[in-house]
Structure 1
Amino acid sequence: MADHGPGRYVAVGDSFTEGVGDSSKRRPNGVRGWADRVAEGLARNSPGWEYANLAIRSKRLRHIIAEQLEPAIAMNPTLITLYAGGNDVMDFGTKIADILDNYEFLVGRLADTGATLVLFTGYDVEVSPILGPLRRKNHAYNDGVRLIAVRYGALLVDYATFTAYANSRMWGPDRLHMSKAGHKYLAAKVLDVLTVPHGITHQEKRKATRGVRQRARDHRVWVTDWVLPLVGRKLRGTTLGDTLGPRWPEPVRVPPKKGLKKLTK
C-alpha cells in the first residue's frame, strides 16, 4: 500500500475476519481478531484511521453479497480486506465453479471502489482424514483466489502457505478457527503486505507432547464439543451467526495509543 496516510478501513467476511478464536469479553461479539489488530496498527503508524468490521461468523458468499457488500461500498473505504468462501467450500454439495463465480462478483464490486483490496487464500486445517475431499476443494478455491487477485490488482495474503500454522498452538479448541496467537500472527502478515511498520512479534512455541491416550481423549472431547454441535446446526439449518450483528457496523476513529479497547470501556 503506497499511501500509509489515514483513511477508512472496512473488513468484510465471516468468522475468520470477525475474530472468532481470539476471545475478548469487552469487545463486540466477545472477540478481538486480526482485523482489529490491523486497524490499531494502521492508527499507530498514521493517526486518524477509521475502521468498520461487517464480518459475521458462519456467513456464506450469498449472505456477504446480500448483507455486507452495499454497506461496505457506501462507507467509501480506502482499504478493504475480504475473506469469503471458506464456509461455502466446507458445505457438502457446493461446486467450486459456483463459489468462485460469486467470489469474483464480490471482488469485482469491491475493486470498483478504487480502494486498496486485500484478499486471502484459505489454510488447509488438519482436523480429520474424513475431510480429505474438502482439502482438494480448498486447493481449487485457493488457485482461483490467486488468479482473481492478479486479475483485479488486489494484494494477496497467501495464508495457505504460512508454515507457522502447522503448530497446533495457532488454533483454537475447535481446530477450525485461529487462536489469539494465530490472529496476532496474521495481523502482522497483513500489515507486512500493506508495508505498514508494526511491532507485532511472533515467538515459535511448542505445545507439550501428548501421549496416545491423551490425544485420543482430546479427540473425543473435540468430537463431542465441536463436531456434533456443528452437524446438528447443519441439520437444523441454523448457524452461530444467526443472532449476531456486525462488530463495528459504522466506521469508528481508532485511538492511536490505546487502540479499540478505549472505545469499549
Structure 2
Amino acid sequence: MTWHRYVALGDSFTEGVGDPCGDPGGDPGGDPGDLVGWADRLAGELRRAQGALDYANLAVRGKLLQQVVDEQVPAALALAPDLVSIVAGGNDLLRPGADPDALAAVMEAAVVRLRGAGADVLLATGVDPRATPLIGRTRGRSATYNAHLWSIAARHGARVLDQWGAAWVHDPRMWDVDRLHLAPEGHRRTALAAAAVLGVDVEPGWAVPLDPAPALPRRARLAAEVAWVRSFVVPWVGRRVRGRSSGDGRTAKRPQLQPV
C-alpha cells in the first residue's frame, strides 16, 4: 500500500528516547540533542519505498495510555492521516496494580476512532521483560495486554509489530543504559520490523541476532546493577512519589505533518 500522511502517537518509545542525532544510523540533518527513534526511521523507510510521505510525531515521554488517547488521538485525527502508529500502555504497566484489561478497553476505543476515520493503524506489543531485574515482575500483566492487542487488531483490521517474539531485542546492546529505552541499533531494527509488517521490502538480515558479547566478570555485573538502580530506578520512584512525569512541560517534537 501507499500512504501519504503518517502520524506517530505514544510515549518515550515513539518519541525516540535513546536514539539521539549523531549516533550511527541517525539523521545527520538533525540538531545535536534531537531524537530520531524508530518512528522517524520508519517514516524514512516508507518514503524510500514510495517516493514521498508527510509525517508527524506527537509522542511525548512519560505519557500514560489515557493521556495519549485524550491528547494525541484528537490532534492526530485533525491531521487526517491515512496511517497511524499508536504504541502506549508501557508506562501504565510499570505501575503496581495496573489493570491490563482496562488498558485494552481504552486502546480498543482509540483504534475504533482511528479506523473509523479511515486510517490504517499499527500497534506494537511490548518486549518480554523476563531478563530485566525488577521490570520482569510486570511480565504477567504485560503478556495479558499483548494478547489483547492481537485481538484488537484482528477485530478492527489493524497491524501488529511483534516485539515480544523478537529474539534480537534481548541483546543488551540493543538497549540504552537505562534498560527502558532502545539504543540506536534497537530503534533501527524496530523500524525495519515495522516496515516489514507494513509490507515494505527492507534490507535482508536485519533480524539476525548479533554475535554473543564477551561475558562480564561477576564483580562488573554487580557494579552495573548497583549503578543502574542508583541512576534510574531511584529517580523513577522519586518521580512517582512526587506525582511527576519525565514528560512534564514537554511538547511533541514534530506536531505538524512535514515532508520526510
Whether the aligned pair in 1 keeps the contact of 2:112 and 2:156 (CA below 8 Å) is yes
Cα deviation digits, residues 120-176 of structure 1 (max 9, x gap)? 111122321x44441111011111111111011101111111011121111110111
Whichever residue aligns with residue 140 of structure 2, its letter is: R
Is 2:258 aligned against 1:252?
yes
CA distance in 2, matches of 1:18, 1:137: 24
Distance 1:36 1:150, change over 3 A: same
In the TM superposition, residue 107 of structure 1 has moved relative to its aligned partner by: 1.3
Secondary structure of 1:243's partner? coil
Residue in structure 1 matched with residue 222 of structure 2 by the alignment: 216
Separation in 2, partners of 1:197, 1:95 = 37
Per the alignment, do residues 191 and 27 of structure 1 end up closer, same or farther by CA in structure 2, a change over 3 Å counting? farther
The amino acid of 2:107's aligned partner reads Y
Corresponding residue of 2:18: 21
Letter in 1 for 2:34: G
Task: Choose which of 235, 246, 250 in structure 2 pairs with 1:240.
Answer: 246
| Matched ranges for 1:48-63 at <5 A | 48-63=52-67
TM-score (norm 2): 0.91
Structure 2: state its 5+ residue gaps: 23-29
Per-residue deviation, residues 70-112 of structure 1 (Å, max 9, x unmatched): 1101111111111011111111122222111111111111111
1:79–1:116 contact (8 Å) kept in structure 2: yes
Are positions 1:40 and 2:44 aligned together?
A: yes
Which residue in 1 is equivalent to 2:149? 145
* 2:132 aligned with 1:127: yes
3-state DSSP class of the match of 1:161?
coil
Matched, 1:184 2:181: no
TM-score normalised to structure 1 length: 0.89
Q: CA RMSD in A?
A: 1.7
SS of aligned partner of 2:164: helix
**Identical counterparts, % of pairs:** 36
Q: How does 1:111-126 map to 2 (within 5 A)?
A: 111-125=115-129, 126=131
Question: Hey, what does 1:260 align to over in structure 2?
Answer: none
Q: Equivalent residue for 1:99?
A: 103
List per-residue Cα deviations over 1:7-27 (Å, max 9, x = no partner): 000001111111111122635
Runs of 4+ in 1 over 6 A off after TM superposition: none
1:9 equivalent in structure 2? 6
Superposition pairs for residues 146-185 of structure 1, below 5 Å?
146-185=150-189
Distance 1:208 1:245 in 2: 40
> Mind listing any 5+ residue stretches in structure 1 that lack a counterpart?
255-265
1:54, distance to aligned residue in structure 2 (A): 0.4
| SS state at 2:160 partner | strand
Deviates more, 1:172-181 or 1:190-199: 190-199
Higher helix share: 1
The answer on whether the counterparts of 2:20 and 2:33 sit within 8 Å (CA) in structure 1 is: no
- 1:195-215 Cα offsets, whole Å, 9 max, x none, are 112347636243332000000
